């Protein structure tokens, strides 16, 4: 049996608090990549920028590792936090960060030992090998900071501090751009100055993080762990495997489409495809920010088995991402010339580029849903399903449809392939979800595959308005609900008193704005009860208060 009068007010507000910082964090990264490229090319020339791109597999390796560990660690930490298992949450966080330090140190040492062969493998232009080797050396050294700092940033939302993560990202990227100019223009360090600027930027971000820790603004649940605890590293990485696979798929997709566009239309095809990828970068700022804000909240709710809250959150997430993607679609359908002018596309390519952008942009209507589902299934431990979505999105589906439509209509077939791929994938996800529900014999419901509660578990789940006289009505309701479902009167009274104390605490310690709410989730199983209180304010644990201090 379930008694539910739950609203999504608190979850929506918490999601909104996380959303802007994660979006700004993505903006900082994207702007840095864009402006950094302009700075290097302006200060050192297009050839130097080409050498930076030659080293991109190293940066991809860094991103692959911090997505694997960062997203996986964030999910596991949030899930244990939702279960109120702070010990396991602390272990998961510590193992994630310590492993990132070990891996980044190994990469740096290995890379420096084999720097010569690695440089020759990446840079085939003998005349530029010396300059490239110097750049690669400093870039590899930067990995000792990039990997762990990015993992810490990814986990900031799970710790409830998304703004600090955003500030770290902004500091790292702004300092990087500033030091690019200092090292290259004033100190004449050449291309290696660009890599040293990256290291300096992340060092500045690390210093800011240390200051925040020393000032007590944030407490990292980090501690040395026994060797046996590192056995959980593979399971942590598996939880982030879909996000990491998405990185691989993105690289494969770009490489294939560049090759195929060049084959079908030469430089015009490559130019238009690069414009389309710039549009993807703009859209990714919003959709990635939405997903980054969703993951820690969803994982915490999943750990609590707060199925109603999970549905309310995902309903909000899907609406937000859809609105954002419709806005992006409308922008590039109405004003495709923006990209043409920004990137100074040749007039000979303009008509084909405008048509290509308009066809390509239709993808965003569908792809946002597929990315949200992929990330959501990571959270609820459907690892193979989320990886399968990632592989279809980045490799299997897009390559197949490009070949099919490209063979039929030529270059425009590539642009058609992207929305078709996303639409087919979304329909496939919805179909598979229905099949899973149908075969589960009532265990799962809906497109979110929410797991049903056992028949002997009873749920009391409501949202109360803290500024209304009826706020304390739930106290008597809780006692009655407990007794109606087999709990003895003494225990039912104790539970209702705990609820009363929590309500009193929230009223005493919140600003009491007109919109103050609190969620009460009570789960009864036999003679045991588990109560979750959720409000926007300082945490409070009644059992930690000394006896005699209750009101």
> How far apart, in whole angstroms, are the C-alpha atoms of residue 158 and residue 538?
16
Give the model confidence (pLDDT) of 23-48 as tens digits: 888 888 777 766 676 677 677 775 67
> How far apart, in whole angstroms, are the C-alpha atoms of residue 417 and residue 400?
8
Are the C-beta atoms of residues 222 and 169 closer than 8 Å to each other?
Answer: no
**How many Å separate Cα 319 from the centre of its chain?**
17
Give the chain's domains with CATH numbers: 8-28+248-452 (no CATH), 45-225 (no CATH), 454-535 (3.30.1550)
Spatial CA neighbour of 371 closest among 421, 435, 299? 421
Stretch (H or E) spanning 482? helix 473-484
Total-model pTM: 0.86
Q: Is the pLDDT confidence value at 65 over 60?
A: yes
Give the model confidence (pLDDT) of 205-221 as tens digits: 999 999 999 998 888 88
Give the model confidence (pLDDT) of 367-384 as tens digits: 999 999 999 999 998 989
Q: Is the pLDDT confidence value at 391 over 50?
A: yes
Give the model confidence (pLDDT) of 130-146 as tens digits: 888 999 999 999 999 99
Confidence of residue 550 (pLDDT cuts 50, 70, 90): very low
> How far apart, in whole angstroms, are the C-alpha atoms of residue 294 and residue 17?
11
Q: Is the pLDDT confidence value at 509 over 70?
A: no
> How far apart, in whole angstroms, are the C-alpha atoms of residue 145 and residue 108?
10
Q: What is the mean pLDDT of residues 67-95?
A: 90
Tell me the two tokens of residue 224: 């040395």
Tokens 């990137």: give the residue.
343
Q: Is the pLDDT confidence value at 481 over 80?
A: yes
Residue 515 has a pLDDT of 55
């Amino acid at each position: 049996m379930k008694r539910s009068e739950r609203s999504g007010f608190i979850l929506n507000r918490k999601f909104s608090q996380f959303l802007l910082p994660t979006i700004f964090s993505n903006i900082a990264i994207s702007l840095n990549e864009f402006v950094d490229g302009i700075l290097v090319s302006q200060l050192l020339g297009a050839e130097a920028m080409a050498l930076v791109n030659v080293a991109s597999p190293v940066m991809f390796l860094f991103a692959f590792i911090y997505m694997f560990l960062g997203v996986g660690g964030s999910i596991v930490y949030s899930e244990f936090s939702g279960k109120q298992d702070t010990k396991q949450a602390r272990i998961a966080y510590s193992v994630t960060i310590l492993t990132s330090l070990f891996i980044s140190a190994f990469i740096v040492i290995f890379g420096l030992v084999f720097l010569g062969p690695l440089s020759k493998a990446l840079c085939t232009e003998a005349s530029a090998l010396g300059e490239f080797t110097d750049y690669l050396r400093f870039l590899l050294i930067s990995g000792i900071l990039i990997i762990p700092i990015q993992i810490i940033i990814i986990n900031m939302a799970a710790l409830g501090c998304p703004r600090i993560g955003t500030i770290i990202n902004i500091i790292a990227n702004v300092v990087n751009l500033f030091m690019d100019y200092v090292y290259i223009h004033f100190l004449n360090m050449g291309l290696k100055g660009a890599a040293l600027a990256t290291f300096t930027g992340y060092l500045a971000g690390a210093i800011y993080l240390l200051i925040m820790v020393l000032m007590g603004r944030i407490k990292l649940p980090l501690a040395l762990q026994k060797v046996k605890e590192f056995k959980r590293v593979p399971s942590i990485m598996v939880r982030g495997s879909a996000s990491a696979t998405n990185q691989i798929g993105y690289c494969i997709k770009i490489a294939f489409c560049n090759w195929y566009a060049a084959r079908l239309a030469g430089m015009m095809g490559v130019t238009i495809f690069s414009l389309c990828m710039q549009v993807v970068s703009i859209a990714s700022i919003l959709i990635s920010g939405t997903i980054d804000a969703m993951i820690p909240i969803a994982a915490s709710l999943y750990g609590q088995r707060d199925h109603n809250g999970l549905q309310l959150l995902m309903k909000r997430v899907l609406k937000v991402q859809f609105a954002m993607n419709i806005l992006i679609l409308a922008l590039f359908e109405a004003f495709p010339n923006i990209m043409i002018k920004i990137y100074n596309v040749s007039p000979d390519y303009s008509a084909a580029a405008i048509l290509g952008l308009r066809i390509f942009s239709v993808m965003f209507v569908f792809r946002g849903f597929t990315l949200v589902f992929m990330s959501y299934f990571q959270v609820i431990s459907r690892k193979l399903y989320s990886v399968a979505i990632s592989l279809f999105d980045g490799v299997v589906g897009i390559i197949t449809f490009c070949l099919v439509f490209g063979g039929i209509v030529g270059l425009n077939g590539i642009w058609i392939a992207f929305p078709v791929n996303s639409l087919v994938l979304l329909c496939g996800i919805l179909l598979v979800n229905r099949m899973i529900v149908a075969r589960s014999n009532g265990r799962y419901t809906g497109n979110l595959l929410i797991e049903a509660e056992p028949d002997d578990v009873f749920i009391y789940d409501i949202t109360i308005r803290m500024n209304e006289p009826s706020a304390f009505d739930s106290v008597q309701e809780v006692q009655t609900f407990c007794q109606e479902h087999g709990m003895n009167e003494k225990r039912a009274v104790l539970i209702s008193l705990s609820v009363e104390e929590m309500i009193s605490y929230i009223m005493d310690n919140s600003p009491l704005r007109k919109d103050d709410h609190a969620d009460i989730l009570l789960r009864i199983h036999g003679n045991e009860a588990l109560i979750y209180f959720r409000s926007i304010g300082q945490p409070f644990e009644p059992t930690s208060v000394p006896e005699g201090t209750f009101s």
